[in-house]
Amino acid sequence: MDVNLNLDRSMRKESCMRTNLVLLSVLCLICTAALSPAQYVPELINYQGRLTDDAGVPLDGVSVNLTFVFYELETGGSPLLTVQQNGVWVADGIFQVLIGSGTIIPGEQSILSNIFRKYNVVWMGISVNGDPEMTPRQTIASVAYSMMTENVATGAVDSPQLADAAVTSAKIDDGTIVGADIHSDALGKAQIQDIYVLNAGDTMSGQLAVTETKDSAVVGYSPYGGGYFASASSGATAYATVGGGNQGILAFGGSLGGRFEDLNDGSYVEVASGTDGVAAYASGRAGYFADADTAPTTYVTLAGAGTGVDAQGTVDAGHFWNGSNSSYAVLGTSTDRGISARGGETGGYFICLGGDAEVYAAYDDVGIQAEASTKGAYFRDTDGSSAADVAYGGRGIEARGTTYGGYFYDLGGSGRAYAGYGDRGIEARGSDMAGYFQNSTWDPTTGYAELGLHNCGLAGYGNDMGGYFEDIDGGTICRVAYGGYSTHGPGTKAFAQNHPYEEDKIVVYACLEGDEVGVYTRGTGRLEDGEARVALSPSFRLVTNPDVGLTATLTPAGDCNGLYVYSVSTEELVVRELGGGKSDVPFHFEVHGLRVGFEEMSAVQAKPEDLKIPNMDEYRRARQVDQGIRANVPLDRFLKMESNLKGIPPEKVDLSRGHALRDAIGEKKKQGLGRSPDAK
């Protein structure tokens, strides 16, 4: 039943606000249950008005917030109830709103319909966007309610005369309410003409079965949703809204939002269950999604046949990316790649939840960066024939293989290197050289070595020395190409050869050493009439300083008065007999000189490092156990000579001064440790 109020007068704010309101009509809609006419009162008020500014120009294309306050009095008094209607759209000055559909702010009453049950006349004040209330207030009277009461004697039936639940189904004759008795805006014949209701009992308290003979069993419409379902059980919190807003189904529950189950095989899906958005369970596969256009070639299976996710597509199997598109991954790509991933920081990141291993793929300018407490990476052939550890135990790479530990080659050249090959540590080949080694400064003037260079086995270069070698057991070191020395070190220089008569021995001769870089030439001559002029070796003059350092030694080979050096040069030696003798006796000679260019090298120099006498334990042991070796030991030969000369046993010969000098120099102890080549 409608209640219409046609109001022609205007309402204007008392303050100097810039909006005017013109009321066009008010339509009171009664939305209560089917009651007697005496109880027919409004739940929602369909209100239409017109808004203009102070110049009378209608507002257009804006939304406003309207506040409706209901009073018992035309002026003053306390609010019976307030309704806040926000976001009301205004077009060409006209707006329309259902008062009561907004936010209810209780006053004396908390339900809009109760105001009209208690008061015949109600006054309504209006304000726009929180401005002061407009004046005068609008009077609202339930005209339809008053018209119905004209058919009943005054005071005959009113609310106190009707007890609670007085009107029941038993009071209404079957068939007395037909479609014509139902208002078209409520539930009309068009909505129910093909629908029938069956219920368990006449009280409508049992199950409700609804059957539709056309396309839908139930069709519902309203401004707030097509349907609302809630549990009537005490303490229940579950409810669902169907067709509300832009959502098909909106469901809430104390344990989960929704559950769908197949009664035949027991599979089910829980929606909004605990902390899970969707949880699905089935004996076959928990979830299956397919493209209707390309199925079965494009699909995703979840938790099926022991596999978490199984996806297939005609282009790629899967695409994953973040909201800003700064990183993404493609799985099962059309370019035959298992995973293709890109990111602003790293292409891929992998971590072991049960350990501390981390792997970054395509990280900055690094292809793969791996970190772990045991080793950075481990690689193994599936047949177990080879394996490699990377960043393991202080080692960069440790590799093992049944053929060789490592193999390296240059795709653009001929260089090849084998590491751990047979019984060789490294075997390398190249058309230029087999190996090249340089210090960390990559400055070719500071130190590098070339192996297998043309016809040279080893070529070493450095601004300190060309090479450095050390016997870590005996302690002897040798610098090669060191300053003015071809070889330099605390050991002696020697040559060795097989013993010509004893197969288990060799013969070793040491070089004569002096306090200068000396050269010599020697030979024999003969006096003629007491004089000899001997031409020296032609090469002697090429290497010997002609000005200083020349000496000559003569040894007569026959009886004479004696010989002396009359003159010596780098080309000729003149020898004469003492006392003016005129013999023709033969003689032997040696001429020594200084090697030209090396005259300024001192025998005493600044100490580059600790240079002790090499360890002699090996030679001492051999001297004690082998008499054949002992007979050739210089110490024993000279002890025998001293013993014979002085008539004392060899062990009594005083060697204290030699021992003291040796101790002052120091003898290397066997440590089995090498020396860093950068020590000087």
> What pLDDT does residue 472 have?
79
pLDDT interval class at 78 (50, 70, 90): very high
Q: What is the pLDDT of residue 312?
A: 86
Lowest mean pLDDT among 89-98, 291-300, 549-558, 613-622: 291-300
Q: CB neighbours (10 Å) of residue 211?
A: 11
What is the distance between the alpha carbons of residues 303 and 332, in angstroms, rounded to a whole number? 18
Alpha-carbon span 389 to 367, nearest angstrom: 17
Per-residue model confidence (pLDDT) at position 644? 94
Asked whether the beta carbons of 133 and 79 are under 8 A apart, the reply is no
**DSSP for 78-143?**
--SEEEEEEEEEEBTTEEEEEETSSEEEESS-SSHHHHHHH-SEEEEEEEETTPPPPBSPEEEE-H
Tens-digit pLDDT profile for residues 503-523: 999 999 988 899 999 999 999
Give the span between the Cα atoms of 360 and 358, in whole angstroms: 7
- Percent residues over pLDDT 70 in the chain: 78
Strands 531-535 and 572-577 turn out to be antiparallel
Residue 680 has pLDDT above 80, yes or no: no
CA atoms within 13 A on the CB side of 339: 10
Q: Which strands, in side-by-side order, build the sheet including 395-401? A: 375-380, 386-392, 395-401
Cβ partners under 8 Å of residue 544, min gap 6: 519, 550, 570, 593, 594, 595, 596
**Cα–Cα distance, 231 to 553 (Å, whole number):** 132
From the options 2.60.40, 1.10.3470, 1.10.1740, 2.60.120, give the CATH code of 518-594: 2.60.40
Which of 186, 207, 208, 184 is CA-nearest to residue 195? 208
Confidence label for 162 from pLDDT (cuts 50, 70 and 90): low
> What type of residue is 449?
A
- Of residues 180 and 115, the one with the higher pLDDT is 115
- Residue 19 banded pLDDT, cuts 50, 70, 90: low
> Could you tell me if 447 and 439 are in contact, meaning their C-beta atoms sit under 8 angstroms apart?
yes
Residue with tokens 């082998």: 626
Closest of 272, 218, 225 to residue 249, by C-alpha: 225
Q: What share of the chain is helix, strand, coil (3-state, %, to 5)?
A: 10, 45, 45
Q: Which of 118-122, 178-182, 561-565, 579-583 has the lowest mean pLDDT?
A: 178-182
pLDDT at residue 27 tops 70: no
207-216, 523-532, 553-562, 605-614: which range is least confident on average?
207-216
Q: What is the pTM of this model?
A: 0.46
Long-range contacts of 330-339 (CB under 8 A, 24+ apart): none
Going from N- to C-terminal start, the domains of the chain cover 2-156, 190-252, 518-594
| CB distance 37 to 181 below 8 Å | no
> Rounded to whole angstroms, how far apart are CA atoms 161 and 39?
12
pLDDT digits (tens, 9 = 90+) for 182-207: 555 555 444 444 444 444 444 444 44
Q: Is the pLDDT at 232 greater than 80, yes or no? A: no
**pLDDT tens by residue, 597-638:** 999 999 999 998 899 999 999 899 999 999 889 889 999 999
Please count the other Cβ atoms lying within 10 Å of the Cβ belonging to residue 664. 7
> Which amino acid belongs to residue 21?
L
pLDDT at 219: 67
pLDDT-derived band at 36, boundaries 50, 70, 90: very low
pLDDT tens for each residue of 342-357: 887 888 989 988 878 8
Structural fold of domain 2-156 = Immunoglobulin-like (2.60.40)
Tell me the two tokens of residue 401: 């293989």
* Integer Cα distance of 33 and 183 in angstroms: 12
Q: 71 phi and psi, to 5 degrees? A: -130, 160
Each residue of 316-343: pLDDT tens digit? 878 888 877 778 788 888 788 888 888 8
- The average confidence (pLDDT) of the chain is 80
Q: In DSSP terms, which residues pair with 482 in a beta bridge?
A: 465, 485
Average pLDDT over residues 484-494: 84
Distance CA 139, CA 142 (A): 10
State the pLDDT at residue 21: 60
Going by C-alpha positions, the residue among 170, 178, 181 that lies closest to residue 203 is 170
The 3-state DSSP class for residue 635 equals: helix
- The pair of three-digit structure tokens given for residue 41, joined into one six-digit string: 């009162």
> Which pLDDT belongs to residue 35?
40
pLDDT category, 229, cuts 50, 70, 90?
A: confident
pLDDT beyond 50 at 570: yes
Peptide bond into 136 cis (omega under 30): yes
Q: CA 26, CA 34: separation in Å to the nearest integer?
A: 23
For 57, which DSSP code?
A: P
Going by their DSSP bridges, the two strands 477-482 and 485-488 should be labelled as antiparallel
User: For residue 546, which of 565, 524, 519, 512 has the smallest C-alpha distance?
Assistant: 519
pLDDT of residue 490: 83
* Lowest mean pLDDT across 34-48, 280-294, 534-548: 34-48
DSSP-derived secondary structure for 656-676: HHHHHHHHHH-BPPP------
For residue 285, list its beta bridge partners. 304
Q: With bands split at pLDDT 50, 70 and 90, how would you rate the model's confidence at 268?
A: confident
Q: What is the pLDDT of residue 11?
A: 40
pLDDT in the model for residue 195: 43
pLDDT value at position 443?
Answer: 65
For position 123, what pLDDT does the model report? 94
Q: Distance between CA atoms of 136 and 6, rounded to whole angstroms?
A: 16
Q: Residue 270, SS3?
A: strand
Q: Are the CB atoms for 98 and 45 separated by under 8 Å?
A: yes
Percent of the chain with pLDDT over 90: 34
Q: Which of 71-85, 102-116, 149-163, 238-252 has the lowest mean pLDDT?
A: 149-163
The pLDDT value recorded for residue 105 is: 95
Who contacts 370 (Cβ-Cβ below 8 Å, separation ≥6)? 357, 358, 359, 360, 376, 377, 390, 391
What is the enclosing helix (H) or strand (E) of 627? helix 627-630
Q: Radius of gyration of the chain from Cα atoms?
A: 59
* pLDDT tier, 7 (very low <50, low <70, confident <90, very high otherwise): very low
Asked whether residue 367 carries a pLDDT value surpassing 80, the answer given is yes
